[in-house]
Structure 1
């Protein structure tokens, strides 16, 4: 069995190629059972977490399994809040083929899926990106978006200013016109695209801040207790999801639905429908689009297959 470390996994997943691999997998489809989620209660919220098992396979091709541990309290220890591993097998024999760095798979496929959605949902001339969050996913979002939109300016907001400033410094080294956003509302007012990648349990983005033509990308929350947007973000906007699972598990959608301000039937399209051309994305320049994702094992499988097959 081959073992591919973090740096090599990243090298084998260039954003343009990864975005296209995701598009192809969404078009082809694969078997994706609902993820298994288990609460790891260590008796203290600061040390407790969630453990996820995410399988996916294409019959006759490849079978993959990702394990993910999410510990929000890790940020107070100077540790990442998420750790994962990925195993890829031959779907016909069950033979293990490769182990990849799951954190890299997760962060790069999440950012790539976000950019893929933005290809259909954001304005083609969108050039200012606001990052809300500074974790592993947020750090690669500018790279992903630059593959589909002419991103020239990146604003970074985080609840901890120091983290935002560190990411700004890195983005500048990477060639971006990046700056720290101290005021979130003011930053939203300047952005064409707002991408939230946090573990927040309280709304950060307010619907009253959104203006015509914006695209709001919500990719951090994956549980009913997690929220990055308030109810007003779903009033008068066009809402899209990665998969139907978002309507089951995302607090960003469940709470507006429970409050009666949004209906499940109002979702305009899922990612597969966009990629297959079955439903339209953005329909005019003034439309406000919202994309809510909880992540899907289909994306992990697409990334792992690309990493295994890549030898460049």
Structure 2
């Protein structure tokens, strides 16, 4: 995934390995190479596994802030997933929306809760001591009711079947979809987008239409977040566009952009050099 972001003076290329088996729980191994702007030589090698989670969650958080009506308290967050993306999406949304008081982690319908899910909660609890964390393995837990009551739903899984029925979320719910990156993958039913979204907001129109299973055959309105997000209006135009379309749900779909990788990698690389971190070697 090569990219250049002139605004941050960076050129980089990220290499990602995709596990061949669904039983692999180590996530997506990734490394980003930072290139010198003048010579093109490699000047830095950065582990991108954690940074990919940060940059994706940051993009989702920007979209959530843009689309959710200001002044309205939200208390319930539902998250599908238990990996790096689930951690960073949960952490950043809890920071961004301090009214959130309950987080429910739901395992995919085809899987069972694992130690990863419990480890995730143990990692988040000290960071947000006033938040109640629960998961779908708890006796008597009602998955359908949790989805229906949610103010925000975040889906971070490589699912190939919808995670919940299209009518289950109540009107006004904000949904973030970041798990699918192949046309055969999808986390929600495409008809939910057609019937309830009004307009689907994405990080990149060409990329999501080519890669996201939810958008295969979708003929409704698609809006790129960057086209309606400005420093002064904080995305008010995006919210207004959704209201004009008459949607019930606000939906943001992300497949990740290479420009995000070069931006965050350059930021970390420059900061590491400033602080004298990392290992420098002759090459």
Measured after TM superposition, the shift of residue 279 of structure 1 is 7.6
Aligned pair partner of 1:106 in 44, 52, 57: 52
CA distance in 1, matches of 2:224, 2:60: 13
Q: Is the 8 A contact 1:131 1:157 kept in 2?
A: yes
Match of 2:150 in 1: 191
Aligned pair partner of 1:89 in 22, 29, 35: 35
Aligned pair partner of 1:282 in 230, 233, 239: 239
Q: Secondary structure at the match of 2:54?
A: helix
Aligned pair partner of 1:161 in 113, 133, 144: 113
Q: Is the 8 A contact 1:122 1:193 kept in 2?
A: no
Q: Is the 8 A contact 1:72 1:199 kept in 2?
A: no
Tell me the TM-score normalized by structure 1: 0.73
Shift of the 72–170 alpha-carbon distance from structure 1 to 2, 3 Å rule, reads: farther
Instruction: Report 1:1-312 matches (<5 A).
Output: 54-59=1-6, 61-71=9-19, 73=21, 76-77=23-24, 79-124=25-70, 125-150=73-98, 151-159=100-108, 160-162=112-114, 163-175=116-128, 176-182=131-137, 183-234=142-193, 235-237=195-197, 238-244=199-205, 245-254=207-216, 257=217, 262-264=218-220, 266-267=221-222, 269-276=223-230, 280-283=237-240, 287-310=248-271, 311=274
Q: Give the gaps of 5 or more residues in structure 2.
A: 276-283
Measured after TM superposition, the shift of residue 287 of structure 1 is 4.2
Q: Secondary structure at the match of 1:100?
A: strand
Q: CA RMSD in A?
A: 2.3
Match of 1:15 in 2: none
CA distance in 1, matches of 2:96, 2:6: 31
Measured after TM superposition, the shift of residue 281 of structure 1 is 2.3
Q: What is the count of residue pairs matched by the alignment?
A: 249
CA distance in 2, matches of 1:270, 1:147: 24
